[in-house]
Amino acid sequence: MEELKEAHCVAGRGIEGDRYFNGKGTYSPKADVREVTLIEQEVLDALARNDPALQVGPITLRPKDHRRNLTVPACRSITWSGGGFVSAQ
């Protein structure tokens, strides 16, 4: 796994440079769609603070610890448009 400061995403292909983007992933032969998940940095920060106290204690999940997911600041400022997204920032 590789942590990137920024990623270029292509509709219908995924994250440029990812093995699934290049058709070499384990599940690449399957006909379903590959997706990414946007995770707010603020949510990861709240988990680390155990705020709200929904789990036994703090959970540290660094951006580089999850795959094919993009950690973004202020994800709520993103609007969805025609199958894609546009950041309000």
**Which residue type, as a one-letter code, is found at position 13?**
R
Q: Which two tokens stand for residue 38?
A: 């946007």
In this structure, what DSSP letter does residue 29 have? Answer: T
pLDDT digit string (tens) for the chain, length 89 residues: 677 788 888 877 778 888 888 888 887 777 666 667 778 888 889 989 998 887 789 988 877 777 667 887 766 655 555 555 555 44
> Measured at the alpha carbon of residue 53, what is the angle toward residues 49 and 58, in degrees to the nearest 5?
40
Q: How far apart are the first and last CA of the chain?
A: 27
Contact in structure between 77 and 38 (CB atoms under 8 Å):
no
Contact in structure between 73 and 44 (CB atoms under 8 Å):
no
pLDDT on residue 49 = 92
